[in-house]
Chain A
């Protein structure tokens, strides 16, 4: 007995498979951590996690996106430091990258 091809429903099954994979990722961290006791080590690890995720996401992206992106992100961090407003940071960063790309960087 062989599994017949998905046929005309293939696209919908593919979307469903993506949805299940994504939802399991969203659940997994919360479910797994509910079995881990919050020892001081675990607590310190969790405390270091958000900043680590941010840096680990952004640094390689800067390397891939180039110098203009690096300047834009630094400008955004500077704007955030001064104003504490995500909106100002976002507008500053977008303005920098648009200008840099307009001038061909």
Chain B
């Protein structure tokens, strides 16, 4: 009986320390989430002004021409798979990998794969997919470099006509806190035609050094901003997923602890009762 009690106590201690770890991880994820959300907020004014400039240029009758906007027949494609480096974030990576697999199955010709994040890279490597380029274990300080390099790499692949379209698998936000794994075509770049708002059109602007030249410079910036937003969204989604997963784990641990404490108390009480019975029946036997 006392052996059972001891193993139960050990188990309880183990679960308690697990709970402490998951709690800590939840808090770490929460603080990281805040940091990335702030980063995204900082990027928003830039993206908005960039779109504003683009809109003013777009309001011309001349259709825009740029290598990144060119639509070609899709023979060769490239796929950007963005997952997280670390695990313990619930089904976050599984969903993304599943989405990537769906895309790969739908293609007769294997696309040029570019992987970001160890989880996705490892999972697809096991299925004998070859990577063109991977970025794994990137530190937070290297984030900027990874974003720029990925953007440039994709841009070069496309403009050198090595690929005819570029897709990205990433968690796309549909609401403030809702996201789902999605595949999006990022090149040829889709210009979002926004509603025409009255006021200053490009006609009244002095443009230097001319519409075409401005356009040629603007498109890569808009594309870089787009890639940046994709990265931001995936980082935010990752930490959101991890926070949720760790919250669930802590809750589960709490439930388990409650159950184990109850069981421990029952066993202890049973042992006491048994000893009492033994004493009482022993003294009774002596009296008789």
Do chains A and B stick together as partners? no
Name B's A-contacting residues (CB within 8 A). none
Name A's B-contacting residues (CB within 8 A). none
